[in-house]
Structure 1
Amino acid sequence: LQEDKRIVTVGHAPTGIRSRLTLTLGVLNHAAVVLFLVTGSGKAQMVRRVLDQESEADRSLPAARISVASGRLVWLLDHSAAQQLKKTPSHRGEA
């Protein structure tokens, strides 16, 4: 993600799929739309760490470093993934 000369790199993970293509932050931050789709309670703590607005987001997490320049950043969370977030009014239906 931190690569600044290429738009795509080969990422290596310690578990699961070992090699994968990764768009760099420069590409993601200049996208028209960046959408995160997060499901499951196993992701709830990470979602809180990225989206917690009362404290600085944990910049060690790749998702926290996405800062779309002029496009839209959209988070779609199921109830389980959102369980550690503070309750706020719904923005359902807004375009």
Structure 2
Amino acid sequence: EAGLAAADYSAIIDREVPKENGTARFDLMILGMGDDGHTASIFPHQIDLWQSDSLCEVATHPESGQKRITLTGKVINNSARIVFLVTGSSKAEKVDEIINSKGSFKKYPAALVVPDNLLWMLDKEAASSL
């Protein structure tokens, strides 16, 4: 059951990962971004998971229905450093919208990643709309 797995993972993180401001703080988190602007398995149709008070939640892939365990926004944004590693021309438009705060960029979970230290690493294709 995915809910139990998320609870177990939350307990392990709470016990083992050092905290800052009362929340687990990872030294480095490397994230990708999907064509639809999702990150960390939080898809636009479940963007509310980002605001969860839990450390981990169950996310559902919008096409396959596959259940995935994800970290929530409070853990992700509490990371000391986050690197977005994004490749491919299919993501260029979303990258531009998010980095330059264009249009309805806030509907993409990747736009909610706002730690103190964020680095975007893009290949030429992903950066082609910048």
> TM-score range, shorter-chain basis?
0.7 to 0.9
**Matched AA of 1:59:** K
Match of 1:75 in 2: 120
Match of 2:50 in 1: 2
Structure 1: 5+ residue stretches without partners: 86-95
Shift of 1:38: 0.3
Structure 2: 5+ residue stretches without partners: 1-48
Query: What does 1:37-76 align with in structure 2 at a 5 Å threshold?
Result: 37-53=85-101, 55=102, 58-68=105-115, 71-76=116-121
What TM-score comes out, normalization by structure 1 length?
Answer: 0.75
Match of 1:35 among 50, 74, 83: 83
Higher helix share: 2
Distance 1:73 1:17 in 2: 31
Match of 1:90 in 2: none
Count of aligned pairs between the two proteins: 82
Aligned Cα root-mean-square deviation (Å): 1.9
Q: Please list every run of at least 4 consecutive aligned residues from structure 1 whose deviation after the TM superposition is greater than 4 angstroms.
A: none
- The C-alpha deviation readout for 1:30-59, integer Å capped at 9, x for no partner, is 111111100000111110111115x46611
What TM-score comes out, normalization by structure 2 length?
Answer: 0.56
